[in-house]
Amino acid sequence: MSIAKRAVQLSALSKRFGAVEALQEMTLSVDEGELFGFIGADGAGKTTLLRILATLLLPGGGKAEVSGLDVVDSYRNIRRRIGYMPGRFSLYQDLTVEENLRFFATIFGTTISENYELIRDIYIQLEPFKNRRAGKLSGGMKQKLALCCALVHRPELLLLDEPTTGVDAISRAEFWQMLGRLKEQGITTLVSTPYMDEAALCDRIAFMQEGRLLAVETPSAITTLFRRPLFAIRARQTWQLITWLRSTTEAHSVYAFGRAVHYTAKCPGQTPDELLEALQRQGFTEVEVMRITPGIEDTFMALMESKTGEPDG
């Protein structure tokens, strides 16, 4: 029986910047080969966490290990084993696609051809533009190039800080397909994102808020943390619908999801028909009420609301 080795191990990891607690007592472990996502709004501490793992920041308290190596003592050793893609586009804009890639290969003492297998799928899309300056690429292309550059030395652990922020939907989807393929190659990936739809593509996800972990689970299991009955409500007058629902005393949570409104009540006994009736009485037209199973975003919202890590209800 083989026990999966730990790629990343955090024990009570803390970090503060002045008065701001960027990370508070985070304890977490990620197995080798996992595709692990950190979900949270801006300022949740995702970047700080990834930078500590990339040995770019010192932990304020607690411990962080990468492949069993301490991020403070063994930073040099770790730097050889990881590929890091910062949140901001950090390649040389005045170098061409190929020059950038070749540069990052040589500073890691390798060549493009040596690890071409690993980046082929991604690089094939970039190849037509290989003589174009990186600064002139589209957002999606830039991120693919950055991923190539972070991968070109075949790291054991890939740290990606919001790689799809500001990238169009199609490129985002392609980017995640690539992460899936890297997983097949056995590369552990830690990725942060503000997009909930990307969370479902991870093996496990961690919800983060204000430097704290709200929950760590697989995407399918995390929704079981959501216990109240959830209704999706549509009406012709979406905006008035939200305002009215929020003003009622029975409402527990009201969020807009596209054209629908996701609603939970304080007392769980309410049925869809009762709701429908109440809404029609208020003069809403074309009203639809459906009981739905909560998604990842619903769960995240609920967890954020309660802040305790356990949604009440």
Provide the binding-site residues for other proteins, judged by CB under 8 A: 51, 54-58, 75-76, 79-80, 82, 84, 86, 88-95, 99, 102-109, 149
- List the structure tokens of 202: 């991870």
Kindly state the DSSP code that residue 91 receives in the 8-state scheme. S
CA 297 to chain centre: 12
Q: How far is the CB of 247 from other proteins (least distance, A)?
A: 46
Minimum Å distance from CB 28 to other proteins? Answer: 21
Minimum gap (Å) between residue 283 Cβ and other proteins: 54
Q: Which is nearer to other proteins, 103 or 129 (CB)?
A: 103
Radius of gyration of the chain (CA): 22
- The 10 Å Cβ neighbour count of residue 233 is 22
What backbone torsions phi and psi does residue 162 show, to the nearest 5 degrees? 45, 60
Whose Cβ is closer to other proteins: residue 54's or residue 182's? Answer: 54
Residues 6+ apart with CB under 8 A from 76: none
CB of 74 to other proteins, least distance (A): 13
> Is the Cβ of residue 116 or residue 257 nearer to other proteins in the bound state?
116
Considering the complex, state which of residue 122 and residue 149 has its C-beta at the smaller distance from other proteins.
Answer: 149
Listed residue (303, 207, 298, 306) closest to 254, CA to CA: 298
Both structure tokens of 151: 């991968």
Query: Residue 160 is encoded by which pair of tokens?
Result: 């990606």
Give min distance, CB of 24 to other proteins, in A.
Answer: 19
Q: Amino acid letter at 85?
A: M
- Residue 53 parent element (H or E): helix 46-53
Nearer to other proteins, 211 or 219 (CB): 211
Q: 51 vs 204, which CB is nearer to other proteins?
A: 51
**Least separation in angstroms between CB 157 and other proteins:** 11
